[in-house]
A = this chain, B = another copy of it.
Amino acid sequence: MDGTGYRIEPIGVIRSTLVDRKAAPRQGYEDAPEAWLELAPRVAAGLAGLTAGDEVIVLTWLHRAQRDVLQVHPRGNLEAPLTGVFATRSPDRPNPVGLHRVSVLDVAGLRVRVAPMEAIDGTPIVDIKPVLPRSADS
């Protein structure tokens, strides 16, 4: 496969009242608000079967992240020991894909209302997947 195969083509964008990375909750369950997933017209057919009440995983591209960071102080606590990013949920990591478990509240054409969503307004969307009923994940 040539290198072009590894390029993310965003399928849409997050529309949220959150605009500042510093003000955003670190995780969805930390009082994150509702948000809209605004999908691109070219992927509209991919939404067939998605309905209010579904539990889904939204993958995003954390476009403000630093990709050259390999260790962080968890949750920005400088007294916590430096930890490898693969043992944390830091947005700063080599491939800054965000993972958000949300409930679908509404599907209206190309717009999907979800909660809770800690990603900021303008964050590109990579994928949407159903939570599997037979596993605890994700």
Query: Shortest beta-carbon distance, A15 to chain B, in Å?
Result: 17
Q: Determine how many copies of this chain the complex contains.
A: 2
Complex interface bits, A16-58 against B, C-beta within 8 A gives 1, otherwise 0 = 0000000000011100000000000001011111100010110
0 or 1 for each of A49-90: is its CB under 8 Å from B? (1 = yes): 110001011010101000100110000000001111111110
Tally of chain A residues near chain B (CB < 8 A):
56
Chain B residues in 8 Å Cβ range of A61: 5-6
Name A127's contact: one of B5, B46, B50, B93 (CB within 8 Å): B93
29 contacts between A and B (CB under 8 A): A5-B61, A6-B61, A27-B132, A27-B134, A27-B135, A28-B135, A29-B135, A45-B71, A46-B70, A46-B84, A46-B85, A46-B86, A46-B94, A47-B84, A47-B87, A48-B71, A49-B87, A49-B88, A57-B138, A59-B97, A86-B128, A93-B127, A99-B129, A99-B137, A101-B136, A101-B137, A136-B136, A137-B137, A138-B138
